[in-house]
Amino acid sequence: MTQLMEQIKEKDAQAFTHSGKFHADDVFSAALLLSVNPEITICRGSQVPEDFEGIVFDIGRGKYDHHQRDSRVRENGVPYAAFGLLWEELGAEILGKELAEKFDEDFVQPLDNNDNTGEKNELATLIGNFNPPWDAQGGNDAAFFRAVGVAGMILDNKLERYRGNERADKRVEEILKQHQAEIAAGKKPEYERQILVLPDFIPCQKYLSETDIAFVIFPSNRGGHCIQPQKREYSLNYKCSFPESWLGLEKEELKKESGLSGAEFCHKGGFLMTTSTLEDAIKACRISQQQFHEEVVIVSLGGDDKGDALLLKLPQFSQAKIVHVKLPELPPMEWDGIYGESTLEKQEWKAQIKEQVKKILRSKPEAVYVQGELFAVYPLIHALRKRHMPVLVRTEMEGEQKIVRIPSGS
């Protein structure tokens, strides 16, 4: 147990932070301490009392403050704030080392970055809205602790989800190993290699994206069985899809179209099908495998023949169909000499981008290759990344043209 953890868990543990306007950083720091010890006393003030011997955070220029000139920065360039400094010491004991590092990357770092740079963060904005209006009378300690209460619920739920996801990954790993062993021993037919039957619903999409499992079957809480197709890694597309003629059908219509007496429902989006029996669930997967025709598509947004040639050199896209989409026309502009600004209102601009993205995704691409002027392509790259669509761009390194993938995610 770290010294900080011991200090937090002491019977009469105390902590101190700054008074006045609060932010997500000090609020989540307080929530973290209370998550470890709900009995800890947290005080606020404009100056740390000279005789205070408890934990001091986000004030005082000490170990858990970040306002001093020599404040610490992570190796990836994200500066620490108080929340990150506390989590660095406590995280491994709460979640384990590996999971704590992932939690830091996914949850803590965006809040640290917001507090240090002002970069927009919706959760930080939500917490900041608990501050009283500028002309409110009296202090804001009550508002601070209301915000801490909300942050505590968010934090505890987030931590439990991480623990749950880890349990799910371990369970799915065990089931997959058993499934593969049964296939190898001939206890299951070869055509079931890509079909994984689970004893219950277990979150597994992310874990299975790196495997060859194309369908997961599990008992439905309404009776019968559910079938979920699995997406490829870094893709919005499924490894194998239900026949298009099944989508949106149910009961007698679906039974007739599929030839399966136990077919009950197939979602029009293609992400779920239900059957009354496990046998028909496996048959539905088998029929889907037999009818599925895989065609890898890349959308080339503003690309040229040179871009196409480079894309086809990539092993995963050597047989890809390249769909060309023209770059959108520039919006109406207002010019002052060489300086210009769009005259479109923000909502009009967003609506145009949304329509352009829908047009791009209509082809169900594995990736979108983008080429063109920054002003024209940046809004689309940003929107595509928020939709978790891999974006490819061309660059030159040491005199050689190369393709670089911009990671998906907002």
Domain identity same for 254 and 137: no
Give how far Cα 388 sits from Cα of 188, 222, 251, Å. Answer: 35, 32, 34
> What is the separation, in whole angstroms, between the first and last Cα of the chain?
36
Residue 209 in any domain: the answer is yes
Triad 403, 408, 410: Cα angle to 5°: 135
What is the SS3 assignment for 407? coil
93 with 7, same domain: the answer is yes
Assess if residue 85 is contained within a domain: yes
194 and 157 housed in the same domain: no
- Last residue within a domain, chosen from 164, 198, 216: 164
Token representation of residue 111: 């809040």
The residue type at 287: I
Which residue matches tokens 């609060």?
A: 22
For residue 366, give the nearest of 292, 300, 267, 268 by alpha carbon: 300
Provide the pLDDT for residue 57.
98
Q: Is the pLDDT of residue 51 over 70?
A: yes
User: Into how many domains does the chain fold?
Assistant: 3
Q: What count of residues does the chain have?
A: 410
- pLDDT computed for residue 138 by the predictor: 83
Residues 188 and 168: beta-carbon distance below 8 Å: no
- pLDDT bracket for residue 148 (50, 70, 90): very high
Based on the fold, state whether residues 385 and 257 are members of the same structural domain. no
Instruction: Provide the token pair at 358.
Output: 């829908």
Nearest to 234 by CA among 204, 206, 272: 206
Q: What is the pLDDT of residues 104-114, one digit of tens each?
A: 999 999 999 99
Same domain, 253 and 360: no
CA distance 252 to 225: 17
Asked if the structure places residue 32 within a domain, the reply is yes
Residue 89 has pLDDT above 80, yes or no: yes
233 confidence band (pLDDT: 50, 70, 90): confident
Both 239 and 376 in a single domain?
A: no
Residues 387 and 267 in one domain: no
147 and 10, same domain (yes or no): yes
Does some domain include residue 351?
yes
Distance, CA of 57 to CA of 25 (rounded, Å): 10
Which residue, of 124, 147, 164, is where some domain finishes?
Answer: 164
| 43 neighbors 16 (Cβ within 8 angstroms) | yes
Range of the domain at 363: 297-406
Do 141 and 109 share a domain, yes or no?
Answer: yes
* Residues 284-301 pLDDT 10s: 999 999 999 888 999 999
The pLDDT value recorded for residue 331 is: 86
pLDDT band at 410 (very low <50, low <70, confident <90, very high): low
Give yes or no: residues 197 and 95 share one domain. Answer: no
The rounded distance, in Å, linking the Cα atoms of 145 and 131 is 10
- 211 belongs to a structural domain: yes
Q: Is residue 19 domain-shared with residue 160, that is, in the same domain?
A: yes
Question: Which pair of structure tokens corresponds to residue 274?
Answer: 């239900």
Angle made by CA atoms 295, 318, 233, in degrees to the nearest 5: 60
Q: Is 178 a domain residue?
A: no
Q: What pTM was computed for the model?
A: 0.81
Q: Is the same domain home to 147 and 59?
A: yes
Average pLDDT, the chain: 95
Is residue 257 within 8 Å of residue 245, measured between CB atoms? yes
CATH code, 338:
3.40.50
> How many other CB atoms are found less than 10 A from the CB of residue 82?
28
| Last residue within a domain, chosen from 240, 267, 291 | 291
- pLDDT of 67 reads 95
Residue 323 lies in a domain: yes
Q: How many CB atoms lie within 10 A of CB 144?
A: 23
Q: Is residue 11 part of a domain?
A: yes
Neighbouring CB atoms inside 10 A of 47's CB total: 11
